[in-house]
């Protein structure tokens, strides 16, 4: 099973379901258990009625109005409002493999926001289908995707009128302890709603899909709302129903229950902050390709280095510090250890990248670094890189 997502140092698993035998087996087990209970209850009813037919009692069912509504702000109220704007994404690749993830309506034109890893296998030569909570299905195509951010935008084919985009919150104003609501399709179980709280903010998460050496990085919102494979790309909502993040990764123990091919939630879920996801989505809708802020230096990915160490050389033997790039102009050199990015402590290369990518090209930042045991600071203006390399 491919692992997806890891707060340094360990690697979480992607909350995306591959259509393996796991769900089928789990459903089969559940059906057998339910059948066994039904059989036992049936036998008990027949046995107890023998010779005692005069002791039966009829209990009237309560009359609950069909249009009974829950108050706005309750979990049920938020779920009822949000569910019609959440879709289950079925991705069929060109070679017949399939997977299930989640997405949500981004605008009235029919754009759907989701994770890149949900749609990557079908982006070039596959088929994508979005199913709404009322069962209506629509074909979809990729508008743009950002592997590094793990964000993708789809466009519904023949999008219906009257789409209701989910309102976007402000992930910068989220506080630890705030209530959260996650909606998705864990293990293919569409329209599943779970609740929790924000457990932590700015959690460095490096993720990979197991099929390539390319990773995604985020400074994530951590939540204990139950998130499992299939939740990927779905919205993480606040108590008012506004999107504060895109559910993207889980930390999970190895193994799993009977019939499961993937491990499940242990209460450690990670979401891309919506402020970052919105910026990426707007860029993808506008140009079809992502834009990344960069410092113009290659850093090592080792953990427990006390910071982000600038490498001796870059990819393909290129200089680790780009000549005349932002880092070079700020005076940084190979071997320097970056320990802070503005006010955020940097513990490793993935932490630094996640923090850089919360900004935009042109932003001015302060870099704290160590060289030869001496700590110094430098002002740096972020450059840009277009597209996934």
- Catalytic positions, please? 117, 150, 232
CB atoms within 10 A of CB 311: 18
CA angle 59, 60, 63 (to 5 degrees): 150
Residue that is written with structure tokens 């140092």 in the block: 9
Of 133, 268, 252, the residue nearest 199 (C-alpha): 268
- What's phi and psi for 248, nearest 5 deg? -135, -30
Task: Find, among 280, 319, 316, the residue nearest to 145 by Cα.
Answer: 280
C-alpha to C-alpha distance for 305 and 287, rounded to whole angstroms: 38
CA separation for the pair 320, 296 (Å, rounded): 8
Token pair 């504060």 in the structure block, residue: 244
Helix (H) or strand (E) holding 302: none
Residue 5 burial by CB count (10 A; 0-12/13-18/19+): exposed, middle or buried? Answer: buried
User: 316-340 burial string, b = 16+ CB within 10 Å, else e?
Assistant: eeebbbbeebbbbbbebebebbbbb
What is the DSSP secondary structure assignment for residue 234, as one 8-state letter? P
Name the residue among 154, 149, 172 with its Cα closest to residue 275.
172
Q: How far does the chain reach from its first CA to its final CA, in angstroms?
A: 26
Distance CA 203, CA 8 (A): 9
Closest CA to 116 of 19, 267, 249, 251: 249
Beta bridge partners, 302, equal: none
Spatial distance between the Cα atoms of 292 and 312, rounded to a whole number of angstroms: 23
């Amino acid at each position: 099973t491919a692992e997806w997502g890891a707060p340094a140092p360990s690697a979480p698993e992607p909350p995306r379901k591959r259509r393996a035998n796991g769900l089928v087996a789990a459903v089969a087990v559940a059906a057998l258990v339910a059948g066994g209970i039904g059989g036992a209850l049936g036998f008990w009813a027949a046995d107890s009625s023998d010779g005692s037919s005069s002791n039966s009692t009829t209990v009237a069912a309560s009359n609950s109005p069909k249009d009974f509504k829950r108050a706005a702000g309750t979990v049920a109220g938020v779920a009822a409002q949000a569910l019609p704007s959440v879709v289950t994404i079925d991705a069929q690749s060109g070679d017949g493999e399939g997977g299930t993830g989640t997405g949500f309506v981004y605008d009235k034109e029919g754009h759907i926001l989701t994770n890149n890893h949900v749609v990557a296998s079908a982006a070039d030569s596959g088929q994508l289908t979005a199913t709404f909570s009322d069962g209506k299905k629509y074909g979809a195509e990729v508008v743009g995707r950002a592997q590094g951010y793990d964000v993708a935008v789809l466009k519904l084919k023949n999008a219906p009128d009257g789409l209701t985009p989910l309102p976007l919150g402000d992930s910068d104003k989220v506080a630890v302890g705030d209530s959260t609501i996650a909606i998705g399709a864990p293990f293919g179980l569409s329209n599943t709603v779970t609740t929790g709280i924000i457990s932590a903010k700015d959690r460095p998460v490096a993720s990979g899909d197991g099929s390539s050496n390319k990773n995604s990085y985020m400074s994530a919102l951590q939540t204990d709302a139950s998130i499992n494979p299939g939740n990927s790309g779905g919205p993480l909502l606040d108590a008012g129903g506004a999107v504060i993040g895109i559910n993207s990764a889980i930390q999970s123990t190895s193994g799993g229950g009977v019939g499961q091919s993937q491990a499940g939630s242990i209460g450690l879920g990670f979401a891309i902050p919506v402020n970052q996801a919105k910026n990426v989505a707007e860029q993808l809708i506008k140009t079809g390709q992502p834009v990344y802020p960069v410092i113009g230096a290659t850093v090592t990915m080792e953990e427990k280095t006390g910071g982000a160490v600038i490498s001796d050389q870059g990819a393909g033997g290129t200089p680790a510090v780009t000549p005349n790039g932002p880092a070079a102009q700020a005076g940084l050199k190979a071997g320097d250890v970056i320990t802070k990015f503005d006010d955020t402590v940097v513990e490793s290369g993935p932490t630094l990248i996640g923090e850089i990518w919360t900004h935009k090209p042109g932003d001015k930042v302060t870099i704290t670094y160590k060289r030869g045991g001496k700590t110094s600071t430098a002002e740096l203006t972020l450059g840009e890189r277009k597209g996934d390399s």
